[in-house]
A = this chain, B = another copy of it.
Amino acid sequence: MTVTIKEVAEKAGVSVATVSRVLNNNPAVSDKTAKIVRETIEELDYRPNFLGRNLRKCETNVILAIFPSSEYSAGLEIVKSMHETASEYGYDIIMATSYDNSKNEMRLLNMLFNRTVDGAVLMSTHLCADEINKISEEYDIALCGEKVDGTNVLTVTVDDVKGAYDAVSELIKEGHTKIAMISTGNEALSSLDREEGYKKALSDAGIEFDENYIFRGGYSFSDGENGYRYLFSLPEPPTAVFAVSDILAMGVAKRALRSEKGKMPKIIGYDNIPLCESYSPTISSVSQPARDIGREIIKKLIENIKSENKCREHIIMPHKIIRRESF
């Protein structure tokens, strides 16, 4: 077993309370005593056991970010900024992945229930509103990037309806009328919102919505490729494509590049992951302000952790359309 506070106290010839005071920078310790204690700590290479400390204080200064899948690269950007903000407050961020499995998600949330972490950020979730509300009665959680209807929990997102609306409107402004959409098949809430925005933009421009112009697959690159194959074998293929994620957009671009028919449709993705800038062609996208999202959510979550007065706002951050070669 490792060295404990008691051993430090004995060796330094003081009580454990004094050692504890030194550890917590309590000013009520004389400089002389503090010096001796610090030297002893150094000498024994003592590290406080946080299990004891946390048990007593009922806090860990760690926040858990739960990812839906390891492919959610937009989330990594956000976590990076969460980390920076958390550092300022003396908190650490750890990540874990549920691999799109609600059982895993619950298991990870156990770290919250059993007080291994002080709070959790769900970067998209498979839980339903009731479950989320129940958890938030007793624990500090936040939703990031994706709101869940019917929840009353701190949430930071972009407006997905509006983001999609703006993206599609840009395409319309350029004269396109045959605009297809590539969405995800499941009930990912952000996808549904983006579909709504897509339809609204068409309708506001007086373009009739054609169900055949929506392809619903999964999240992956190859789903984008399949989307291309489907859409461009239609009798009247689209001239522009709006995809609910950048990876899907890249899949479309790749297939288009290789197709013999040649003509490259205009393409716009969503999330503006770093790779958009690097892909060939570079991919236009709807950008989430990752830095601001991460900062905002951690700031509010830590405030919630520290106070009885819980903020349950739904904060909407502004998005931006980034135009690159694909559009």
Contacts and interface: CB of A to CB of B under 8 A. Distances in A.
B221 A278 contact: yes
Nearest to A3: B138
Interface residues of A, number: 53
A230 interface: no
Nearest to A224: B278
A172 interface: no
A259 to B, nearest CB: 12
B50 A114 contact: yes
A123 to B, nearest CB: 13
A251 interface: yes
A79 B114 CA distance: 24
Nearest to A258: B280
A64 to B, nearest CB: 7
**3 tightest Cβ-Cβ pairs between the two chains A and B:** A50-B114, A221-B278, A51-B55
25 contacts: A2-B138, A47-B113, A50-B115, A51-B54, A51-B58, A51-B115, A51-B116, A52-B55, A64-B94, A70-B77, A70-B80, A71-B274, A80-B97, A83-B99, A92-B96, A92-B107, A92-B108, A94-B96, A94-B111, A221-B277, A221-B278, A250-B278, A251-B278, A254-B280, A279-B279
Interface of A: 1-2, 47-55, 58, 60, 62, 64, 70-71, 73, 76-77, 79-80, 83, 92-97, 99, 107-108, 110-111, 113-116, 138, 221-222, 250-251, 253-254, 257-258, 274-275, 277-280
